[in-house]
Structure 1
Amino acid sequence: MPRILGLILTPFYIHELPNKADYGVYSSLMVYLILGNVMLSYGMETAFFRFMNKSERKSEVQSTALTALLISSVLFCVLGLLFENPIAQWLHYTPAFIGYAVGILTLDALSVIPFAWFRNQEMPIKYSFVKISNVLINFSLNIFFFVGLPAIAGENPKGLIAHLNFEDKVHYIFLANLVASAFTLLMVLPLYKRIGISFDKVIFKKMLKYAFPVLIAGIAFSINEGFDKLILRYMLPKKVADDVVGIYAACYKLGVFMTLFVTAFKLGVEPFFFSHANKKNAKETYANITLYFSIFGSFIVLFVVVYADILKQILIPEQVYWEALWVVPFILMANLCLGIYHNLSVWYKVTDKTWYGAAISIVGAVITLSLNFMLIPIISYKGAAIATLAAYAGMMFISYYYGQKNYKIPYNVKKIALYMGTCMVYATLSFYVFNRNIYVGTLFVFIFLLMIYILEGKALKKTLKKA
């Protein structure tokens, strides 16, 4: 739902924000929020799942994780607000935006363990209720700030509410996010009493040792996920930088259809990996999950590529942003590779070899940064898209190679390669060779679905019968 909110609000922001540069400022600031979320949770969520499933002192594990994040989040908030102006000057943003970011990051970090607790206790209804409430509050506030507030302020320019009527409408995006995060924390706050506030140094050291490589991997992932936008912003001439970031970020959003699938999958599969690690058929289960993920993911990539010209009308209603549509197949394939990488990462998580994950992510970050610095001066945002695909594909292959050496899983590599390869060929032909001809693209989609039916029809029917 949060991803869907981003999907819905993209055309709204594009329409409401005065120009491409404003959308670029918003998009680049979101990169810092992604990085901040990773650093403030510092791998404790993954450590929480691992230690709750293997430790006999479960109450101490959950209360220690909660207390640790409480202390670090409050400390971050104090320091962030104290140094708001220097940070804003250094990063070239309005100081108020830094304040919003600090508040949002703090509130979100304080909700990390309560959400992990819901997932670990297999309470998807409560988890979803809070998450969806956050989405609805955020969405409602965006509508109010952008549409309702200016009308109210116009009728009563001296009223209290008129003080919230900003000329720079980017304020509204972060204000809505801040209030929604505050309400989310209020909703999960009762869990603080249920989990308990206490701190066990021994458990914390063990958890931190496990979590630290996850933190490094998370930082590297943030670099892979968003630093292309920052590099574009700081490498291109100042007068066009935010405009270019804006059009790139808008077209990047077409990749959200793949991201939605990957995010939903990851939320469910991570605790599943840990809970099934000691079962007899665990490796076969992991292999089957990866195969079907690859099939559905490949179909999503091809579908979005073929119907990009229809989807762009809905998601990116302003024609000035369409210049960057070239990046769409690259971003979709990059997210598919990332999703498969999440599948492959099971081997180092269940064997407590999380340093491998950190090392692989660092390699990905090096690829991202190197290619961005090399290609952006030559081909601008196209270089950023190429770098993203290269990084995630590299991480996927490296993880598979070392995973088979340390925790061999019988993946059906031939089938996975067949589906991904066919998807890539059809997507490339449809988008670049046939210039997005919808009839040719639809034929490719039909052939791909027919291939799935012929190769997987019997297995899918058996699975559906069992379900």
Structure 2
Amino acid sequence: MATLKKLFKQTFIYGLATVLPRLLSFILVPLYTSDGVLSSVAEYGKLNIIFSYFIFFNVILAYGMETAFFRFFHKEKNKNTVTSTASISLLISSLLFLIIGFLLQHKIAQVTGLNIEYIKYILAILFLDAIVIIPFAWLRAMQKPLKYSFIKITNVAINLGLNVFFLVGLKKIAESFTFAENLYIPNFEINYILISQVISSVSSLILLGKFYTKLNFRFDKDLWKKMMKYAFPVLIAGIAYSINEAFDRLLLDYLLPKNIAETTIGMYAACYKIAVFMTLFVTGFKLGVEPFFFSQAEQKNKEKNYATILEIFVMLGALMFLGIVVFTDILKLYIIRSEAYRQALWIVPFITLANLCLGIYHNLSVWYKVTDKTKIGAYISILGAIVTLALNFWLIPIISYKGAAIATLAAYASMMLISYLLGKKYYPIPYNIKKIGLYLGLSSAFAFTYFFLFRENYYVGILFILLLSGTMIALEKNQLISIYNSLKNRKR
């Protein structure tokens, strides 16, 4: 129980590091979707195409080194050498990427269809984000969640402030004062958004500057080879993950007629944000649980702890999933400000459940990470990517963005199922599948029934939430009493 307390304390702090910045940046969604900020829904679609490229190339530039760092940091005696080797590797590769990118920027702009100015900002952001990967990972490995949280929150607060200033404040200043009328550049909104990101990324590097000043810059070639061998399957898995996460926007752009593609992406991306609360929960939990999995690898009761963690995660996630679906039409008023974006709300239950399945998959993935069978994790992610691509190519031309949402759910659900079946064979963990299946099945049945048959009938929605909560309390009574007594004794 003490071990679990430590995990959930760190998960809470890491959750703040993820949730609070995301909630701050979440204000940007209603800002972007407000009338008069971006020129059109299509412009928001173009911005999300850029964000999709960020997701893909962030994975490429990290090439699994963060996960390799965690593994070898806990495995090797000389932790400073592990830290230094990983840092130097990413510094060199990121610098090479930046140089090559600038040399080929015109060709990149031609291939992607993006403006050349966007390419310059994108390259700078990708470089800055890559060289802080190990410093942030080191803070997590050293169990310094407060500093980690502070820097993350500062980054997004600066980004948020600059977005509001450039998109709202600067425009009002230019309209109010004659001497300032040339300060604001019309139709420059995406540039302003990217400039804000560059400045906020620089701020993170400055706040992490002491990491590099104290680094001994010792590169162990043999260790690096072992880390790369471990990291390569993680890279493949990451690429597959980025396909699952971001290629739906790119494929919508590719498969739909050009006159509607960017507008459709804008609507899809805006409604996708309704599921952000599940994403926040999954991400915060993952940040806390991943270092915990590695640190527990040699402990006696690790399998029991892993099983308990997943059960708690599914309980909380199932309640959150149902709550998001029930209150979608209230959330839309605050998140998606313009009616022009709301046509794609159909995707909400599919995307929210997909993210819950992804969170379960992250918890199940412990078996191949602690046994160094990361290549199997890569195979699972590749399977998910194949499902994503196949269903998107099939469904998008037929049912547009609805096909993209169905493909996302199918991909993450298949990854979750395959990971469980393989883990059962190679690294048995006593998961309570009956309870987990019940919570997942019951929440899904209630959510889809409500959304498609009783939408905006909050009496039915709240009844479903109470029924799910009551079922959980009845089945988890002993566990809840145990946790309560443990907390009560701790206070004494």
Query: What TM-score results when the alignment is normalised by the length of structure 2?
Result: 0.93
Say if 2:25 and 2:157, in contact at 8 Å, map to a contact too: no
1:341, distance to aligned residue in structure 2 (A):
0.2
Match of 1:3 in 2: 22
CA RMSD of aligned residues (A): 1.3
**Stretch of structure 1 that moved more, 13-22 or 219-228:** 13-22
* Residue of 53, 61, 70 corresponding to 1:40: 61
1:377 corresponds to: 397
Which amino acid in the other structure matches residue 135 of structure 2?
P
Matched, 1:68 2:67: no
Does structure 1 retain, via aligned residues, the 8 Å contact 2:60–2:235?
yes
Deviation at 1:279, TM superposition (A): 0.5
* Corresponding residue for residue 320 of structure 1: 340
Alignment correspondent of 1:360: 380
Q: Distance in 1 between matches of 2:404 and 2:388?
A: 8
Deviations 1:235-260 (A, max 9, x none): 11111100000000000111111000
Give the structure 1 partner of residue 17 of structure 2: none
User: 141-150 or 119-128: which moved more?
Assistant: 141-150
Alignment partners' CA distance in 1, 2:314 and 2:353:
11
2:237 counterpart of 1:217 = yes
2:446 maps to which of 413, 426, 435: 426
Structure 1 Cα separation of the partners of residues 25 and 203 of structure 2: 19
Moved more, 52-61 or 165-174: 165-174
Q: Which runs of 5+ in 2 are unaligned?
A: 1-19, 488-492
C-alpha displacement at 1:155, in angstroms?
A: 5.6
1:39-92 CA-partner distances (Å, limit 9, x unpaired): 111111100000010111211111000000000111111111221121111111
Q: Which amino acid aligns with 2:23?
A: I
> What is the CA–CA distance in structure 2 between the aligned matches of 1:408 and 1:162, rounded to whole Å?
66
Give the Cα–Cα distance (whole angstroms) in 2 for the partners of residues 85 and 464 of structure 1.
61
Is 2:281 aligned against 1:261? Answer: yes
One of 211, 220, 228 as aligned partner of 1:208: 228
1:397 equivalent to 2:444? Answer no
2:9 corresponding residue in structure 1? none
* Structure 1 residues 71-82: aligned runs within 5 Å: 71-82=92-103
Aligned length: 466
Residue in structure 1 matching 2:157, options 119, 123, 136: 136
- Post-superposition Cα deviations, 1:138-195, rounded to whole Å, max 9, x if no partner, equal 1110111111222334466776x94663423121211111110011111101101223
Where structure 1 has 5 or more consecutive residues not aligned to the other structure, the ranges are none
Q: Deviations over 1:12-36 (max 9, x none)?
A: 1111212110110111110110111
1:195 to 196, 205, 215: 215
Q: SS of the residue aligned with 1:411? A: coil
- The residue number in structure 1 matching 2:484 is 464
Q: Calculate percent identity across the aligned residue pairs.
A: 53
Q: Distance in 2 between matches of 1:281 and 1:120?
A: 21
The aligned amino acid for 1:51 is: F
Per the TM alignment, residue 97 of structure 1 is displaced from its structure 2 partner at its CA by 1.1
Which sits farther off after the overlay, 72-81 or 382-391?
72-81
> 1:153–1:162: 8 Å Cα contact kept in structure 2?
yes
* Structure 1 residues 183-237: Cα deviation after superposition (integer angstroms, max 9, x where no partner): 1111101101223322111010000000000010001000000101110011111
Once residues 232 and 95 of structure 1 are traced to their aligned partners in structure 2, the CA distance between those partners, rounded to angstroms, is 22
Instruction: For 1:265-304, list aligned pairs within 5 A.
Output: 265-304=285-324
1:271 deviates by 0.2
Tell me, yes or no, if structure 1 residue 307 matches structure 2 residue 327: yes
What secondary structure sits across from 1:18 in the alignment? coil
Q: 1:421-462 CA deviation, whole Å, 9 max, x = no partner? A: 000100011001223422211110111111111111331231
Q: Tell me, in whole angstroms, the C-alpha distance in 2 between the residues paired with 1:208 and 1:278.
A: 23
Residue number among 47, 50, 57 corresponding to 2:78 in the alignment: 57
Given that residues 244 and 384 in structure 2 are in contact (C-alpha distance below 8 angstroms), is that contact kept between their aligned partners in structure 1?
Answer: yes
Structure 1: how far apart are the matches of 2:321 and 2:268? Answer: 18
TM-score with structure 1 setting the length: 0.97
SS at match of 1:199: coil
Q: How does 1:238-249 map to 2 (within 5 A)?
A: 238-249=258-269
Distance in 2 (CA, whole Å) between partners of 1:293 and 1:195 is 37
Matched residue SS, 1:17 = coil
Report the counterpart of residue 102 of structure 1 in structure 2.
123
Alignment pair present for 1:148 and 2:169:
yes
Give the whole-Å Cα distance in 1 for the aligned partners of 2:109 and 2:183.
22
Partner of residue 138, structure 2: 117
SS of aligned partner of 1:435: coil
Distance 2:43 2:216 in 1: 43
